[in-house]
Amino acid sequence: MTETAVIAGVGPGLGESLARRFLDEGCRVGLFARSESYLEELSAELGESALAVPTDITDPTAVEAGFEAVRAEFGPIDVLLNHASGGAWEGVQDISPTAFERAWRVSAYGGLLCSQAAIPDMLEGDGGTIIFTGATSAVRGRDGAVGFSAAKFAVRGMAESMARELGPKGIHVAHVVIDGQISPPEGTAETDRAEEEFLDPDSIADSYWHLVTQDRSSWTLELDLRPHVEPF
Amino acid sequence: MTETAVIAGVGPGLGESLARRFLDEGCRVGLFARSESYLEELSAELGESALAVPTDITDPTAVEAGFEAVRAEFGPIDVLLNHASGGAWEGVQDISPTAFERAWRVSAYGGLLCSQAAIPDMLEGDGGTIIFTGATSAVRGRDGAVGFSAAKFAVRGMAESMARELGPKGIHVAHVVIDGQISPPEGTAETDRAEEEFLDPDSIADSYWHLVTQDRSSWTLELDLRPHVEPF
Amino acid sequence: MTETAVIAGVGPGLGESLARRFLDEGCRVGLFARSESYLEELSAELGESALAVPTDITDPTAVEAGFEAVRAEFGPIDVLLNHASGGAWEGVQDISPTAFERAWRVSAYGGLLCSQAAIPDMLEGDGGTIIFTGATSAVRGRDGAVGFSAAKFAVRGMAESMARELGPKGIHVAHVVIDGQISPPEGTAETDRAEEEFLDPDSIADSYWHLVTQDRSSWTLELDLRPHVEPF
Amino acid sequence: MTETAVIAGVGPGLGESLARRFLDEGCRVGLFARSESYLEELSAELGESALAVPTDITDPTAVEAGFEAVRAEFGPIDVLLNHASGGAWEGVQDISPTAFERAWRVSAYGGLLCSQAAIPDMLEGDGGTIIFTGATSAVRGRDGAVGFSAAKFAVRGMAESMARELGPKGIHVAHVVIDGQISPPEGTAETDRAEEEFLDPDSIADSYWHLVTQDRSSWTLELDLRPHVEPF
């Protein structure tokens, strides 16, 4: 397959692993993130099939321009990975309304904007795939993380609604529940935890790619991923 | 019990039934809604233990002022019903980002603001109860209602997170999944549907009141409510 | 209401609390358990509106006879509490197939037999209520309790299926998820745990009774109950 | 990988597709079913890496013997697909206790017996994979199918419990929710439904195989599969 994918919310870690994996499979990949310098460095490293598009995914105009830039370079969008996520790991007494809003805006509102920009290409073409990166807090509201929980639940609700609406039109919408901590990029963190307690981002990328390759007769809406030792 | 309750998002239908039921049980009730004329008429009808407080629950300053007004009249808040809800019954290709945001702002963001205003009273006092009004779209993202689904999921995630955080501190947080259509107030709608296909708002109010009376040794986080004939 | 209730699987603890509560509300109560001596003592204590019926609920003939005995004394059955539960707290490598089967037979198979015996009375009469006692292991398969988890899941699946089938026919089917440990009867256990860490069976009974009183316009299929300090 | 897999409950349709797919990937496959003639024909067709083992999976002795036969031919078991399923598509008023039990015995009890036989090989070796075939009725109790729902819920509860227990020991337990109807084998059924309304069993097999290949840093407990046009 030579597909054009957009990864909205690339960063060191899973975002980069997804980019590398999709490139390895022959895709051309548009990378959205806010930091211009990080993106340029990354795309230089990834080669000609990767396009850095500094984009604030919470700004409708910027999102439209970002997709236009990818389209101009690689053609219509086939795959969208809504991968951006906002922190907001505070309890209800501590979180500011602004931080609560920010978590939602980056993951839910940004996910809507990117999806709305990508869907027309998919409908005109041969269908497509939209994958949302979720978390355990999308299925169990977490003590002390009211903003993150509300945002991740919102994303899951959006993904389910879109799956029901778009499936019959040939667009596969999926939601991946990542349960546990992803290995920090080498050299970025010291940790006492054993390696096997982390999710390997390259392994996560295997399951994202599997979702993209699923035949439309057997599509998955949701799967969970966790290290084999993770208590849950 | 003589408790002070705030109902955030009162309107004809369930909001009014909740107000009447809580008043019948001896509570004093602060009523928040945007329409001043509607609220004044309602509180006049409900009597001295009801206080109309025209409030935009998406505005932090207005919310603070609203709670202050109730406190001044009736004392510290014991019960908060986060009952406001925004429509957004459109599919992902049709909904405007503004409508998507509005649905979230009224139910999730407004729910946060009201909760943050009420919690300190409950912690200083003898505990309290916060109930969120949910919907089927809080547990199953609905085809063609991406904004409503994302907003209602967000509320459920927030409720779960808050229940885990606040339960040990003596605040009971609950989420009611209303599955089906509530009887329209008399004279407001013509319908071909049989009466038994609707939820009676007075009956719903019974279960809200049950949640308030639960002993802290046996609290419910979530219950669903539907007409006996509702297919689900 | 003067209703006739059957509590299938009475024992010290919640079963007894349910019996007392339903009697206090004016019901006549048939008590099923295997131990004849325990039941006789209990019913003597509870008075004339309680009938002890030693019954093996996993035996179709015994179940029929048990219901017949209650009917003969108190008239047709209005309420059935499927409250029996089998242990099986072992992991998959340790549990014997016999213990695995026993857990299912007591809770799922016995629940079917009792429901099938009670339903005709409810259909001929004015409807009725069937409540299944569930547990956290009915919604999250528990590490090291494969038999208990499989049995409790089975019960929940049965309750959901029956709720959908019987609701439109006027029978309210509900499933109560009890999350945490119920206070041991006085004098039966020493414990280091604080009292507030336990569910009070009388408080649980409040919510069972609430389910029985719900108007058919607003029925609950499932609610959870836990102590306010329970981590979950 | 040259793995030894057992498919418990092979039949025309998904069972056969799983067998072919696992053989294509280089596995040796033991096939369990009750019908000797069907199995012999199938294994003749599949070649030397397939072994027909007529087995009643609800009989502990037969299950032990079946695994012993596979072990003798192909070595220790690495993968177990618990694929057997019993019908029981009747409502609570119509189903016989025997049919209710049969559905549970084939899927839940048989799944336990096969898992208990396979686990020691996996623990002594390099880990393994156990996959349970589930259905929508494992997550939503279906109106008019109380036996099937109870059995499928039981399987899901067992799978979750086993995943938590066995994951840290290196055994990957997964549960696949098949939502919709699988294409009938060619020539076996006439249907008015369009081909795209069915799940293609070969496509389902892709996701089973993906589960087997997942790295232990990112294991999936549950995924759902449905045709893109399936309403859900």
Provide the residue-wise pLDDT of chain C in tens; the chain has 232 residues.
689 999 999 988 999 999 999 999 999 999 999 989 999 999 999 999 999 999 999 999 999 999 999 999 999 999 999 999 877 789 999 999 999 999 999 999 999 999 999 999 999 999 999 999 999 999 999 999 999 999 999 999 999 999 999 999 999 999 999 999 999 887 666 667 888 999 999 999 999 999 999 999 999 999 999 999 999 9
Instruction: Return the partners of chain D (3 or more C-beta pairs < 8 Å).
Output: A, C
Share of chain D above pLDDT 70, in %: 97
Residues on chain A touching D177 (C-beta within 8 angstroms): none
Q: Which of D115, D143, D164 sits opposite C141 (nearest CB)?
A: D164
- pTM (2 decimals)? 0.97
What's the DSSP call for residue C105? I
Read off the pLDDT band of B190 (50, 70, 90).
low
What was the pLDDT predicted at C88? 75
Cα–Cα distance for residue pair C93/D112, rounded to 1 Å: 10
Within-domain flag for A98:
yes
Within-domain flag for A231:
no
CB contact under 8 A, A222 and D223: yes
Give me the domain span that covers residue B132.
4-225
What was the pLDDT predicted at C230? 94
Nearest CA in chain B to A158: B150
Share of chain A above pLDDT 90, in %: 91
Per the prediction, chain A carries an average pLDDT of: 95
Q: Which of D210, D218, D229 sits opposite A200 (nearest CB)?
A: D218
pLDDT at B224 over 90: yes
Of residues A188 and C118, which shows the higher confidence score?
C118
CB contact under 8 A, D217 and A228: yes
Residues on chain A touching B97 (C-beta within 8 angstroms): 60, 109, 112-113, 116
The two structure tokens encoding residue B45: 């009808």
Q: Would you call A21 an interface residue with chain B, using a CB distance cutoff of 8 Å? A: no
Mutation target to probe the D interface, by most D beta carbons within 10 A, among A131, A218, A219 is: A218
Looking at CA atoms only, how far is residue C205 from chain D in angstroms? 25
Read off the pLDDT band of D190 (50, 70, 90).
low
What was the pLDDT predicted at B61? 98
Q: What DSSP string describes B111-136?
A: HHHHHHHHHHHHHHTT-EEEEEEEEG
Q: What CATH number should be reported for the domain holding residue D60?
A: 3.40.50.720
Looking at CA atoms only, how far is residue D188 from chain C in angstroms? 30
CB contact under 8 A, A214 and D231: no
Read off the pLDDT band of B192 (50, 70, 90).
confident
3-state secondary structure of D7: strand
CB contact under 8 A, B228 and C217: yes
What was the pLDDT predicted at A190? 67
Read off the pLDDT band of A87 (50, 70, 90).
confident
β-strands A128-135, A171-178: how paired? parallel
- Region B154-163 average pLDDT: 98
Q: Would you call A200 an interface residue with chain D, using a CB distance cutoff of 8 Å? A: yes
- Name which of C172, C210, C168 is nearest B196 in CA terms: C168
Residues 140-199 of D with CB under 8 A from A: 164, 167-168, 170, 172, 183, 196, 198-199
Within-domain flag for C87:
yes
What was the pLDDT predicted at A2? 80
Read off the pLDDT band of D185 (50, 70, 90).
confident
Read off the pLDDT band of D86 (50, 70, 90).
confident
pLDDT at B170 over 70: yes
What was the pLDDT predicted at D140? 97
Q: Which of A214, A224, A231 sits opposite D220 (nearest CB)?
A: A224
Which residues sit opposite A130 in a β-bridge?
A80, A173
Mutation target to probe the D interface, by most D beta carbons within 10 A, among C64, C160, C175, C177 is: C160
CB contact under 8 A, C159 and D141: yes
Q: Which H or E run includes C32?
A: strand C28-33
Cα–Cα distance for residue pair A97/A88, rounded to 1 Å: 10
Q: Which H or E run includes C130?
A: strand C128-135
Element counts in chain A: helices (H) and strands (E): 7, 9
- Region B174-194 average pLDDT: 85
Cα–Cα distance for residue pair C14/C33, rounded to 1 Å: 13
Looking at CA atoms only, how far is residue B61 from chain C in angstroms? 32
CB contact under 8 A, C228 and B167: yes
Instruction: Return the partners of chain C (3 or more C-beta pairs < 8 Å).
Output: B, D
pLDDT at D192 over 90: no
The two structure tokens encoding residue B85: 């809800």
Looking at CA atoms only, how far is residue B65 from chain C in angstroms? 31
- For residues B119 and A92, the answer to whether their CB atoms sit within 8 Å is yes
> How many domains does chain D divide into?
1
CB contact under 8 A, B163 and A141: yes
3-state secondary structure of D216: coil
What was the pLDDT predicted at C85? 87
Residue whose pair of structure tokens reads 């405007």 in the numeric block: B96
Q: Which of D92, D160, D165 sits opposite C144 (nearest CB)?
A: D165
Residue D90 — left, alpha, or beta (φ > 0 → left; ψ -120 to 50 → alpha)? beta
Cα–Cα distance for residue pair C84/C135, rounded to 1 Å: 12
β-strands B50-54, B28-33: how paired? parallel
B7-61: per-residue pLDDT in tens? 999 988 999 999 999 999 999 999 999 989 999 999 999 999 999 999 999 999 9
What was the pLDDT predicted at B23? 98
Q: Which of C183, C198, C224 sits opposite B222 (nearest CB)?
A: C224
What was the pLDDT predicted at A186? 76
Q: Would you call C101 an interface residue with chain B, using a CB distance cutoff of 8 Å? A: no
pLDDT at B116 over 90: yes
ipTM of the complex in this document: 0.96
pLDDT at D210 over 90: yes
Of residues D1 and D107, which shows the higher confidence score?
D107
CB contact under 8 A, B157 and A154: yes
Within-domain flag for A36:
yes
CB contact under 8 A, D217 and A227: yes
Looking at CA atoms only, how far is residue A126 from chain D in angstroms? 14
Read off the pLDDT band of A86 (50, 70, 90).
confident
Q: Which H or E run includes D128?
A: strand D128-135
- For residues A133 and A81, the answer to whether their CB atoms sit within 8 Å is yes
What was the pLDDT predicted at B194? 86
Cα–Cα distance for residue pair D45/D92, rounded to 1 Å: 42
Within-domain flag for C151:
yes
Contacts 24+ apart (CB under 8 A), A11-14: A11/A38, A12/A185, A12/A188, A13/A182, A13/A183, A13/A184, A13/A185, A13/A201, A14/A83, A14/A133, A14/A178, A14/A182, A14/A201, A14/A204, A14/A205
Residues on chain B touching C219 (C-beta within 8 angstroms): 225-228
pLDDT at B189 over 70: no
A88-98: per-residue pLDDT in tens? 789 999 999 99
Contacts 24+ apart (CB under 8 A), D46-51: D46/D19, D46/D20, D47/D23, D49/D23, D49/D74, D50/D19, D50/D23
- Name which of D168, D77, D182 is nearest D130 in CA terms: D77
